[in-house]
Structure 1
């Protein structure tokens, strides 16, 4: 029965009349997605997308309603992944349930309160000067060359280096962090229909977890300014973040810092 359902879903997605965001994987549609968006708004403004396995809401008023009245706590649980035939993805679900992005109050309020202590005005000012220095270093050879690829030479490396600096890990690790971020972001919402990508993301999550756990161990021995250390030392009314919460929210910060700026 599940195989039949998945086959039907795939047929629906390949059908030219389908409104699935699956079509954004087509380079021609991606180059001009606005006809698809117009159809979504006019024909199915609240649309169940079998590819994303989620509801897609496209009208402004409806989006505002969703943001104000519906729960953000929609992260698939390990049990839900098992029901979808993907029990191996349980560790991804377990990690995502610790990220403030997927929480409602009071859990979100608690985590946000502790995390906000990492973004003090003094820390932001330090980051500002570091970002300027990073930008100067990136621009120097480009100015000498008299030409540049805005994406390849600046927009891609800058957020990767800044993210490493912000986290408090070696900037020499920026390429590895960027690759992990791309793998993690690519599979979000696509677990059901991209098992190969999901497997790669599972490996990526395992590697990131080991990486940040080791970073925490090093910072306990030799503290260094950065988000990880700020998470480690944040305390509010005697409450502190657990190591797993620190790792999960370092990952979501890293991914958000790179995938939304490149």
Structure 2
């Protein structure tokens, strides 16, 4: 008996790489919100699990990214010599103003609601083409064969990656997610990430050359021209941000489509409702984002001493990790059974795309991709069934939450 009690009390409140946490983090979140809403992790970061603190940190100018300082703190002074971290330090996602403002300003026009809405027919055509090819076989992996192809094709279109180069992107492994987890990488993982990063840099340098010679109507051409201006963009910034756009442009959307399809099939009443009333798809996507976000966490650093955040003092330089997946199920904001999937839920405003100056550039694109993909799949393969809705195989990462595979038959 005593042994058991001891084990229960030493069990960490937050253990994001434990298999049971990866499978279902939501009971842990509830425990955090109820018992220690500003929890201090073993690595010394503050962990915000309630909606109030999370939404404040995302929007408050007293918090920033401070990437180099934060990473050096965690790994030691030599870490910035590693290619993958040197590349990441240039990502707009990791930058503070004024650099962030300058970098984001160069790409924001490609992601306006108008531009993205104009892509809807192209998105529909890719989904239809994929289903035409696969429908006769009666079986597929919804992740690799369906969810993955659409956003990869669209981001390749946007970046001007020629069709004959794309096969490698369709078949490349999806193992980059660990870079973002709040648990330090091992030397072996850093080495693997470096290899991937160097390969990506080599490819994109060739693409830049191609677009200098043959400009196109694409983001790469636009950024190459900004780089030639000299004042706007260095070559390292250009390369780092193209790598960021490529990864961010597909990774999370694959997970949104996969997590949404799993949630529907685990809640047959909601699946039946959506099939009966396809117009609910727009609100359903917001509910999928809230219910099982493909990005579970984002971080900020206190740029000054903060006297009181959820009852804790946050000294300057300390990291606050914001649990988006937990905030999305906070009963303070969603009083009506937040752990239930309800595609008709009113006022769904998930924090899944972040907030403040780093609000996801591709939010509207991801919504439309998921809407077209899921809506079309339900319409065209109405008798599709998941082979195993109860124990699917999750990817072993925490920040980017998604399935490794999701086999289905019809």
Q: TM-score normalised to the size of structure 2? A: 0.52
User: Structure 1 CA distance, aligned partners of 2:113 and 2:22?
Assistant: 39
Indicate conservation of the 8 Å contact 2:64/2:96, yes or no. Answer: yes
| Deviation digits for residues 178-199 of structure 1 (CA, Å, limit 9, x no counterpart) | 6768333222235734332221
User: Structure 1 CA distance, aligned partners of 2:185 and 2:114?
Assistant: 45
Q: In the alignment, which residue of structure 2 is the partner of 1:56?
A: 47
Indicate conservation of the 8 Å contact 1:96/1:248, yes or no. Answer: yes
Q: In the alignment, which residue of structure 1 is the partner of 2:132?
A: 140
| Deviation digits for residues 159-195 of structure 1 (CA, Å, limit 9, x no counterpart) | 2222222211134544544676833322223573433
Name the SS of the counterpart of 1:19 in structure 2: coil
Quick one: structure 1 residues 256 and 60, their matched pair in 2 at CA, closer, same or farther if it must change by over 3 Å? same
Quick one: structure 1 residues 238 and 86, their matched pair in 2 at CA, closer, same or farther if it must change by over 3 Å? closer
Q: In the alignment, which residue of structure 1 is the partner of 2:335?
A: none
1:32 to 24, 34, 38: 24
Alignment of 1:1-262 (within 5 A): 17-22=11-16, 24-26=17-19, 28-50=20-42, 54-69=45-60, 70-76=62-68, 80=72, 84=76, 87=79, 90-119=82-111, 124=116, 127-174=119-166, 176-177=168-169, 182-189=174-181, 192-234=184-226, 239-262=231-254
Q: In the alignment, which residue of structure 1 is the partner of 2:260?
A: none
Q: TM-score normalised to the size of structure 1? A: 0.77
Indicate conservation of the 8 Å contact 1:208/1:251, yes or no. Answer: yes
Indicate conservation of the 8 Å contact 2:79/2:85, yes or no. Answer: no
Which has the larger helix fraction? 1
Name the SS of the counterpart of 1:182 in structure 2: coil
Q: In the alignment, which residue of structure 2 is the partner of 1:5?
A: none
Q: C-alpha displacement at 1:71, in angstroms?
A: 2.8
Indicate conservation of the 8 Å contact 1:167/1:227, yes or no. Answer: yes
Work out which structure has the larger RCO, using CA pairs closer than 8 Å and 6 or more positions apart in sequence: 2
Can you give the 5+ residue segments of structure 2 that lack an aligned partner in the other structure? 1-8, 255-410
Q: C-alpha displacement at 1:111, in angstroms?
A: 1.5
Give the superposed CA RMSD: 3.3
Indicate conservation of the 8 Å contact 1:78/1:89, yes or no. Answer: no
Indicate conservation of the 8 Å contact 1:177/1:254, yes or no. Answer: no
User: Structure 1 CA distance, aligned partners of 2:102 and 2:174?
Assistant: 28
User: Structure 2 CA distance, aligned partners of 1:132 and 1:74?
Assistant: 40
Which has the larger strand fraction? 2
Name the SS of the counterpart of 1:240 in structure 2: coil
